[in-house]
Amino acid sequence: MIEFVDAPRAWSAATAAVTRAGATTLAEAAFYQVPLLAIPLPRGVDGGAQRQNANFYASRGAALLADQDDPQGVAAALTHLTDTGTQARLRDSLAELSPAGAADRLAAILQEVAV
C-alpha cells in the first residue's frame, strides 16, 4: 500500500486532474499547468471557500467546474477535459495564474513604472 503520493512527481506527470478546489491544490495545478476539473466541497462543509476558489479559476478560463451533486454535469465536464483543445486553453489560462505568470506580470509592471 502506498500511503503518500509524491505530489511534485504526480503533478509533473499528469495530463489532467479532477480535484477539490482548495487554494493550494489550485495553485499547484497552475504552477504545473495541469488542466483540471474542480469539484468544490459543498458550501456547508467549508462555508463556500472552495466554491469561491473554483469560481475564480473558472471565470478566468483556468478550470472547469462541476458540483458533486450533479453527475451529468461532472460527466459533461470530464468529456470537455479530455478534449485536447480544451486542455490547451486551460493550460494557457493556468500559466497566467501560476507563480511564474505572476512574476512575469509583476516584472512588466515594475518596468513600466520605472521608465
Q: What is the domain range of residue 70?
A: 7-114
Number of domains observed in the structure of the chain: 1
| pLDDT confidence tier of residue 99, bands split at 50, 70 and 90 | confident
Say if 2 falls within a structural domain: no
Percent of the chain with pLDDT over 70: 97
The DSSP-derived string for 2-58 is -----HHHHHHH-S-EEE---HHHHHHHHHHT--EEE-PPPHHHHTTHHHHHHHHHH
Give a yes or no: residue 35 inside a domain: yes
**The domain that contains 54 carries what CATH number?**
3.40.50.2000
What pLDDT is recorded for position 19? 96
Residue 29 forms part of a structural domain:
yes
Mean pLDDT of 12-27: 95
Q: Please report whether residue 1 resides in a domain.
A: no
| pLDDT at residue 103 is higher than 80 | no
- pLDDT, average across residues 49-68: 97
Q: Looking at per-residue confidence, does 107 or 83 come out higher?
A: 83
